[in-house]
């Protein structure tokens, strides 16, 4: 039972090594599992570093795009504010408000 599992695992390993086209290290006859996992670890480490860098670049790019769209929207919709004299009477303030609405 265990021998058949071992043989299946060895066949699967050889198939995997063949699929990835791995060659044994110089001076060795076969590709060892420790060599495969060393190469795999290096690949994963490099991939993680590059992934983080690219993700950060994409985030910066999206932030710039968002800032540009916000500044575009705010430049298009500038709001003018006029101070209404708080000491004026209620009727005077209503007249000022109506005058500003009529001019716009």
pTM of the model: 0.55
3 state DSSP class of 93: helix
Quickly count helices (H) and strands (E) in the chain: 3, 0
What number of residues does the chain have?
Answer: 104
Cα(48)–Cα(45) distance, integer angstroms: 5
Domain boundaries, the chain: 25-103
Task: For the chain, 104 residues long, give each residue's pLDDT as a single digit of tens.
Answer: 899 999 999 999 999 999 999 998 888 889 999 999 999 999 999 999 999 999 999 999 999 999 999 888 888 776 566 666 666 778 887 888 888 777 65
């Amino acid at each position: 039972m265990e021998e058949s599992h071992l043989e299946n695992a060895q066949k699967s390993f050889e198939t995997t090594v063949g699929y990835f086209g791995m060659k044994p290290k110089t001076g060795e006859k076969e590709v060892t599992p420790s060599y495969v996992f060393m190469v795999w670890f290096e690949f994963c480490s490099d991939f993680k570093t590059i992934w983080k860098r690219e993700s950060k670049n994409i985030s910066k790019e999206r932030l710039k795009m968002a800032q540009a769209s916000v500044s575009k929207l705010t430049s298009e919709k500038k709001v003018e504010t006029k101070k209404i004299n708080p000491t004026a009477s209620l009727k005077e303030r209503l007249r000022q408000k109506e005058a500003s609405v009529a001019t716009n």
